[in-house]
């Protein structure tokens, strides 16, 4: 491979360029494409030099929650399962908001996830711990060549929106801009509000890199841990489980066995005691007509196909 080609591939890996096509049939790990993901992790080590402040940690936590919500509510419950409706303007906004979590574009995410629901825990599943082992189900799959591009077959309903195809293709531009803004905000606060004890590099490492890496692993834990550890209420043909700890980190997505039982509802917690922050926030957004027609959970579905509890 010529140096100029390698350089082009590296630049492309940072800028995104996730085309919508039939998918790459080449197998194996795409090392160059995985560079940004590796950089995200390695950059976190810079915490040794930048230190910490309450402001930077709080910023990282809030930004984590804001972006986790964009994944659970929009990438997952909207773009993957169409579990509610919204205006085209908000659809566009939700797509950009989702890009901020650095989990590639909304159509790529939805295509991978719809494929997971069709082939859950079979040999075709992209990320099954039962078939491929824990490591592959957690992070291996995202580095694979065949999972890099957006498979049009699974998102035919979305490609009629040119703005979504555009946002999906250049999804990585959003995090690059966001990292620059966070750095500038940190630098300005360092000059004008020294009592916060932060600066550009510190806020960048905490607010962008650490926050993003934790958000990524929390999301991926649904594919890995949540198909291994937890309880099963419904007799689904896969290994999905309900896991309270995963729920706390993912604003409700830990009720994954519930979700595999009936994926099209906007809820993941099926009872009042099953905390589902994403659902609560979606209900609040519906009061303001930002989202509408949240798909409910019919009572007969809640009772159907349950695994009998042993006495």
Residue (of 292, 228, 298, 310) closest to 261 by Cα position: 298
- Least CB distance from residue 260 to Zn ion, whole Å? 6
Through-space distance between the first and last CA atoms of the chain, rounded to whole angstroms: 64
- Least CB distance from residue 288 to Zn ion, whole Å? 25
The window from 4-12, 59-67, 186-194, 255-263 that contacts Zn ion (CB under 5 A) reads 255-263
Number of H helices and E strands in the chain, helices first, is 16, 4
- Least CB distance from residue 161 to Zn ion, whole Å? 21
Which residue, 76 or 169, is less far from Zn ion as judged by CB? 76
CA-based angle 143:149:152, to the nearest 5? 140
The window from 166-174, 178-186, 256-264, 293-301 that contacts Zn ion (CB under 5 A) reads 256-264
Q: Could you tell me how far CA 282 lies from the centroid of its own chain?
A: 17
Total residues interacting with Zn ion, rule: CB under 5 A? 2
Which residue, 91 or 240, is less far from Zn ion as judged by CB? 240
The window from 130-138, 145-153, 257-265, 273-281 that contacts Zn ion (CB under 5 A) reads 257-265
Subset of 262-291 contacting Zn ion (CB under 5 A): 263
- Least CB distance from residue 11 to Zn ion, whole Å? 33
Helix (H) or strand (E) holding 6: helix 3-15
Q: Could you tell me how far CA 199 lies from the centroid of its own chain?
A: 28
CA–CA distance, 138 with 117 (Å, rounded to integer): 16
- Least CB distance from residue 81 to Zn ion, whole Å? 6
List the x/- string, 182-221, binding to Zn ion by CB under 5 A: ----------------------------------------
Which residue, 147 or 240, is less far from Zn ion as judged by CB? 240
Which residue, 37 or 119, is less far from Zn ion as judged by CB? 119
Subset of 55-74 contacting Zn ion (CB under 5 A): none
SS3 letters across 238-288: CCCCECHHHHHHCCCCCEHHHHHHCCCCCCCCCCCCCCCHHHHHHHHHHHC
Helix (H) or strand (E) holding 20: strand 20-21
- Least CB distance from residue 282 to Zn ion, whole Å? 15
The window from 20-28, 34-42, 48-56, 261-269 that contacts Zn ion (CB under 5 A) reads 261-269
User: How many angstroms separate the Cα of 139 from the Cα of each of 18, 136, 185, 253, 306?
Assistant: 19, 6, 31, 18, 31
Subset of 231-250 contacting Zn ion (CB under 5 A): 240
Which residue, 178 or 238, is less far from Zn ion as judged by CB? 238
Helix ranges (H only) for 88-236 are 88-99, 106-119, 129-132, 134-135, 162-169, 173-192, 200-203, 211-223
- Least CB distance from residue 204 to Zn ion, whole Å? 32
Which residue, 199 or 226, is less far from Zn ion as judged by CB? 226
- Least CB distance from residue 290 to Zn ion, whole Å? 22
Given a contact cutoff of 8 angstroms between Cβ atoms, the answer to whether 220 and 227 are in contact is no
CA–CA distance, 102 with 94 (Å, rounded to integer): 14
Which residue, 53 or 240, is less far from Zn ion as judged by CB? 240
CA–CA distance, 207 with 205 (Å, rounded to integer): 6
Q: What residues make contact with Zn ion under the rule CB under 5 A?
A: 240, 263
């Amino acid at each position: 491979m010529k140096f100029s080609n390698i350089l082009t591939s590296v630049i492309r890996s940072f800028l995104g360029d996730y085309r919508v096509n039939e998918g790459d049939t080449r197998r194996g790990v795409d090392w160059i494409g995985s560079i940004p993901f590796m950089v995200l992790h390695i950059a976190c080590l810079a915490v040794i030099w930048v230190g910490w402040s309450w402001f930077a940690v709080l910023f990282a936590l809030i930004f984590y929650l804001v972006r986790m919500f964009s994944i659970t509510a929009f990438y997952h419950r909207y773009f993957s399962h169409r579990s509610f409706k919204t205006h085209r303007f908000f659809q566009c906004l939700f797509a950009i908001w989702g890009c901020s979590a650095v989990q590639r574009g909304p159509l790529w995410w939805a295509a991978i996830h719809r494929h997971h629901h069709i082939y859950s825990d079979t040999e075709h599943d992209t990320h099954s711990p039962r078939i491929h082992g824990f490591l592959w189900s957690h992070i291996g799959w995202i580095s694979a060549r065949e999972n890099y591009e957006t498979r049009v077959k699974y998102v035919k309903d979305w490609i009629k929106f040119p703005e979504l195809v555009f946002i999906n293709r250049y999804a990585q531009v959003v995090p690059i801009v966001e990292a620059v803004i966070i750095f500038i905000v940190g630098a300005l606060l360092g000059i004008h509000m020294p009592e916060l004890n932060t600066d550009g590099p510190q806020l960048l490492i905490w607010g962008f890199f650490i926050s993003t890496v934790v958000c990524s692993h929390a999301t991926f834990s649904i594919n890995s841990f949540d198909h291994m550890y937890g309880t099963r209420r419904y007799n689904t043909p896969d290994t999905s489980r309900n896991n309270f700890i995963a729920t706390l980190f993912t604003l409700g997505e830990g009720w994954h066995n519930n979700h595999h039982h009936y994926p099209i509802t906007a809820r993941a917690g099926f009872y009042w005691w099953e905390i589902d922050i994403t659902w609560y926030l979606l209900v609040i957004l519906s009061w303001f007509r930002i989202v509408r027609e949240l798909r409910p959970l019919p009572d007969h579905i809640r009772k159907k196909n349950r695994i009998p509890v042993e006495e």
